[in-house]
C-alpha cells in the first residue's frame, strides 16, 4: 500500500469540526501554498464551502482536508496537525519536502 498524499491528524480534524460547527460551515479545511514568507513559501489555511474536482482529499472522522494540485506538489507526504503550546494554538504542517523553515513555522523552502 502506498503512502497517502497528505494526512489530517485526529487533533486537526477535531479542531476543524469545532470551528466549522461554530461558523455553520462544512468541515472542509483547505490547505494552499503561497509564494512569500521569510523562507519562500507559506501555508494558507481556510474553511472551504466545497472541494474542487481536482483537489486531493484526506478525510479523518468525517472532516476533509483538501489540497489543490499545484500546492500538493509542495506538500505531498505531509501531515497537518493542530498543536497547542505556550506559543499559542495553530495548525502545523510536517512537510518532508521542506528543505528549510523559519522560526515562525508557517514558512518553508524546497
Q: Which CATH number fits domain 6-96: 3.90.580.10, 3.40.630.30, 2.60.300.12, 2.60.120.10?
A: 2.60.300.12
Q: How would you write the pLDDT of the chain (110 residues) with one tens digit per residue?
A: 567 899 999 999 999 999 999 999 999 999 999 987 677 788 999 999 999 999 999 999 999 999 999 999 999 999 999 999 888 899 999 999 887 766 666 666 76
Give me the residue spans of the domains in the chain: 6-96
For the entire predicted model, the pTM comes to 0.88
Q: How far apart are CA 55 and CA 83, in angstroms?
A: 25
> Residue 24 — left, alpha, or beta (φ > 0 → left; ψ -120 to 50 → alpha)?
left
CA distances from 24 to 9, 41, 99 (A): 22, 31, 38
Tell the residue number behind the cell numbers 480534524, with chain if given: 13
Amino acid at each position: 500500500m502506498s503512502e497517502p498524499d497528505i494526512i489530517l491528524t485526529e487533533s486537526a480534524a477535531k479542531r476543524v469540526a469545532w470551528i466549522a460547527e461554530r461558523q455553520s460551515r462544512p468541515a472542509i479545511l483547505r490547505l494552499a501554498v503561497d509564494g512569500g514568507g521569510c523562507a519562500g513559501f507559506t501555508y494558507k489555511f481556510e474553511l472551504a464551502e466545497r472541494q474542487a474536482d481536482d483537489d486531493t482529499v484526506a478525510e479523518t472522522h468525517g472532516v476533509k482536508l483538501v489540497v489543490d494540485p499545484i500546492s500538493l506538489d509542495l506538500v505531498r507526504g505531509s501531515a497537518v496537525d493542530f498543536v497547542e503550546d505556550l506559543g499559542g494554538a495553530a495548525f502545523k504542517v510536517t512537510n518532508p519536502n521542506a528543505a528549510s523553515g523559519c522560526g515562525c513555522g508557517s514558512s518553508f523552502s524546497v
